[in-house]
Structures are given as C-alpha cells and as structure tokens.
Amino acid sequence: MKIKLLIIVILICNLNSVFAQLCGTPQTTNPKIYPQDDSKTSKSSLSKGSSSAICINVFFHIVRNTDGTNAFPIPNTNEIVRELNEFYSPHNILINNAGTSFIDNTSNLYVDVNEGIAIANARNQSQAINYYIVDDMEFNGFALDVPSIALFIRDNRVLTSTSAHELGHCLGLEHTHKGLAYGESGCAEAIDGSNCSSCGDFVCDTPADSGNGAMNGYNPDMTNLMSCYHLNPWLINRDHFTDSQGFRMRAAIYTEPILQNTRSTSCTQISEVSTICYPQTTTVTLSNLGGATTVWTSSSNVQIVSSNNSNATIRGASSYSNGDGWVRAVLNNGITFQENFHVGKAEVDNVLFRNNGAGVSGYLCSSHYDNEFEILPYVPNASYEVRIRDLTTYNIVAGPYNFIGRIATLPTDYNYTPGWYLFEARGTNSCGTSNWTQWEVEFVDCTLGGGGGETEYRVYPNPSSENLTIQKTQSSNKVNSKKTSYGSNSAYYKIFDFNSNLIFKGLIDNQTTIDVSDYKRGNYILKIYKKGKSENHQIIIN
C-alpha cells in the first residue's frame, strides 16, 4: 500500500515535466474577459434554461493514406458526438454532427501546430467547428487558438476527455492553470480566488491551479475538463465543466465573430415553460428529435400526466404544490434536457425590508422615506399586493398597493406613528392568487438618528446558516468589554422572531459571534441596544 501511494505522489509531483505532451493549444496573449453568470432564474440567451440551448455544428476531417486506404481504424463520429454531448449538454451547449470528409494525404498523418494551421486554412468549413483526426502528433490534441473553429486530435484520443478539452478551447475556455504553470501567459489567480474574474482562467468557480496538484496551499479541481491532470485515467478522470465555464462558453458563442457561423438549428430543442399549475396541464415539446428515444422524469412537485418520445404533458402534483420545479428529458444519444419553472401560485415566503439604500434592515421609516422591500421567492410574471395593518385594532392603515417586480417601494405620502405594524403580502400569477402572508415590522422615526436610523454595528453574513457576527463599525466608539451586566454603558442584543417572541439575548463586545445553526430557517429581527438607543437588523437564517 505504501508503494502504491508513493507512485501516485510521484506521478502527481512530476506532471509538470510531461504536461507539454498533452495539449498543444497556443498561448493566448489577450484573452477575453466575460461577465460572471450570477443568474439562477433568467431566461436570457446566456442563461442555463434548456429552452435557450445553443446548437453547434462539428464537422469531421479524417486523414487517410494518399491511396485512400485507412491509416488507422476510422472512428464512429456519432459516438464522438454522443460523448461530447454528455459533457456539454448539461451546460446547454448541444453538438450536431455536420458531416465527415477525408483528407487523402499520407504526409498529413503526422502534424505539428504549423502544419495544422496550413491544413485548416485549406480545408476549414466556416459554418462548423472543424475536428481533424490524425494518426500522430507531438500532443494528444490542440486547438488553433482560443477561441477557434479548428482542433486536431490523435485518433486514439477521440473518445477520451481530450476531445471535450480541445473543443472547450475552441469555445473560449483557458486551462485552469493559466498564468501559473508551464510558461502560461497572463496573471496568476490568487489562492483565495480574490482576482478570479480577471486572472487565471477568468472563471470564479474553478479553484486556483498551480499545475502541481494539491500542495503549497493550492487545492485545484483535478477532474475539471480544462485541467491537465489526466495522464492515467485510473488515477484522475476529467469529467465536467463548471457552471461558470458553461456560461463563458455560451458568452463566447454569442459574442465572438469567429464562432458566429458555427451555430445550427439542427439540434434537439425543448420548449420553454415559466409556470405550471394544478389541475391545468402544460405540454413540453422536443423538436428536431430525429430517431432518439426519450425517458421523462420530473421533480416531486410535478406530475407527468402522459408522455411519448417528443413531448410530455405535465401539471402540479396537487393543489398544494408550490416552489421550484423541473421536467427532464434524457435521450438515448447522450443528451439531457432540463426545463426549470415555477410550480403553483406565487406564494410569499419572506419579505426583506430596506431603507434609503442602506441594505437589508428590520424596520421601515415612519414618514417620507423611500422604504423598499423585496419579495422572496420572486416568481417571474407574477404581480404582488401588500397592505399594512395596525397591530392593536387590526385595521388596514395603508394599502393595498400593487406592484410587479422583485423590489418595490412604499409610497411616501404617509405618516405612521412609530411602532410595530402588521405587514401583509400575497402574489398572483397564472395559477391564481396566494393567501396573505404576514410579518410584524417596526416603523421608526429615521430623522432622530436612533432606533435604526443610523447603524453603529454591521451584522454578517446575512443570510447565515451557522454563525452570525455583530461587529462595531470603525467610526463608532469602543464598547467596554468588561461589562458583565446590562448597565447603562453596555451594548446588548436581542433576537426576536416575526411573532415578536424573544429567541436569544446577550452582551456585545467589539465583535460578537452568535451560533445560529440550531435556529429554524426564516426571518428574525436583531435589536441592538446602547445608551438608550436601539438599532434594528433583519436577519435571515437559511
């Protein structure tokens, strides 16, 4: 066992000397930086909704002997496309087999990068990624540039991760170790990822990679398809792209001129769905299916009423079904489609209260301020209604107000008496109108500088699932940390749920950490008291 472990360590530590044989893609000196994808629900062209999947043509060029005889076993190009789709379809990039041609020239059986450029200039089809298969070369494979419409692969590597790796270069991806190893140009990504969007491979969900494995503080993802840790498949198997790598490739396809003509309408597509209801049904359709067979599955809050190869009729599983849902089509050619949508009425779970652009807080201003609030979860194509009641009389004192969008602002033509009120919200979408959801919220006089008008403390991270930290801002005076009771000079906190029940309390030092891991998920009010004044923070436990 010790001998095997030593061999593995030696292999990893010596990858540096042999990486040059793996990928021959030339260095990029001025790579493009794209925005990072932070959208989970957008249906924009760059989002991950399957209905916006991008279809890419790949055309194969197979080099043979000059007399037309095969120099190596001719690979099944449909099988290559099937394996590529296993890697790319989860990121809504679909590969279409656009055809095959033969290059009958024995002198082209072995190529270097310069010879590859000459062959590509003479043979490239402008409306596809050109995939050249040769008998031998110095590398396992190479793309002509990043991005590019041509790549070369050794015939014994076409059904390995090398294919997906080199196609990734064509679609704008860099090595995960870019800027850090083997003379790679560009700036190095910091170990903590603080410069991830502008250095390294320009992708923030791939860890910094020095090219030497997990050592010297680095902990790279050695199974990422754009890494180079794959000399022995039994040791390290490259098998995935990250979400942000998928976004970067889609951005390149949409914006890079060299890739514009590679897009196709020949791939299978899935129709878009934003909301499904109960008992109404919605049909999801696959187009350009060809002869593929389909297996349909769905999330637990969705019922598949009927299905065949080309479509599935779905609805909410019951009248109580609500939340995020999906339907998935798995094709026998290796492609998987998943369409995400909202299930049921636009139920309101949480409201985040804000004021004066200061961020999340637990209060609203009692008069003439821009009081913002955010509905959670936000359901696309839904409208919302809010109203405010007096806690004592239960009379409606403001509203109802109607709005569309994620964030709304209360009208400023009101003047509440400072104190606690009942805030109510409900949503309406194509499935109907949800029930009212209620929260107690404090209206404070924001003109006095107390009661939340100014914040002496910052509370983070918010939302939190483990620890919550209360920290004095640099501009505030120090708290006497030696106080052991709630004296007049002490600062202390209380945490309330939204039914005004006291959950926890304690003294505050310059920095105080609270363990919230056992708290029930939801919204809470953190009130901080000092010298007769108080400030409020709305906190979220997730």
pLDDT tens-digit series, residues 218-247: 999 999 999 988 655 446 788 999 999 999
Cis omega (within 30 of 0) for bond into 400: yes
What is the DSSP code (8-state) at residue 173? P
pLDDT digits (tens, 9 = 90+) for 182-199: 666 678 898 888 888 888
Q: Inform me whether the pLDDT recorded for 527 exceeds 90.
A: no
Which residues are bridge partners to 452 per DSSP?
none
275 lies in the same domain as 305: yes
Residue that finishes a domain, picked among 410, 444, 478: 444
Answer yes or no: is 434 within a domain: yes
Answer yes or no: is 5 within a domain: no
CA atoms of 39 and 42, how far apart (whole Å): 6
Q: Inform me whether the pLDDT recorded for 508 exceeds 70.
A: yes
Structural domain boundaries enclosing 86 = 17-261
92 phi-psi bin (left φ>0, alpha ψ -120 to 50, beta other): left
- List all residues 6 or more positions away from 270 whose beta carbon is below 8 Å from its beta carbon: 50, 51, 53, 284, 285, 286, 329, 337, 339
Answer yes or no: is 283 within a domain: yes
- List all residues 6 or more positions away from 14 whose beta carbon is below 8 Å from its beta carbon: none
Q: Which amino acid does the sequence have at 287?
A: S
211 lies in the same domain as 333: no
Looking at residue 353, what is its pLDDT?
Answer: 75
Answer yes or no: is 451 within a domain: no
How would residue 512 be classed by pLDDT, with cut points 50, 70 and 90?
confident
Residue that finishes a domain, picked among 343, 360, 389: 343
Answer yes or no: is 3 within a domain: no
Q: How many domains does the chain have?
A: 4
- List all residues 6 or more positions away from 340 whose beta carbon is below 8 Å from its beta carbon: 41, 49, 50, 324, 325, 326
Answer yes or no: is 12 within a domain: no
Answer yes or no: is 1 within a domain: no
pLDDT digits (tens, 9 = 90+) for 5-50: 333 332 333 344 344 458 889 887 777 777 665 443 344 455 566 6
378 lies in the same domain as 472: no
CA atoms of 346 and 249, how far apart (whole Å): 33
Lowest mean per-residue pLDDT among 67-71, 135-139, 277-281, 466-470: 466-470
Specify the CATH number for the domain of residue 50: 3.40.390.10
CA atoms of 170 and 262, how far apart (whole Å): 11
Looking at residue 147, what is its pLDDT?
Answer: 95
Look up residue 378 and give its two tokens: 């936000």
Which residues are bridge partners to 93 per DSSP?
54
Residues in the chain: 542
Looking at residue 14, what is its pLDDT?
Answer: 38
How would residue 518 be classed by pLDDT, with cut points 50, 70 and 90?
confident
The mean pLDDT value for 351-360 works out to 58
The mean pLDDT value for 478-484 works out to 31
Q: Inform me whether the pLDDT recorded for 2 exceeds 50.
A: no
Cis omega (within 30 of 0) for bond into 147: yes
Residue that finishes a domain, picked among 221, 243, 261: 261
Strand segments (E) across 445-521: 457-460, 467-472, 491-497, 502-507, 511-515
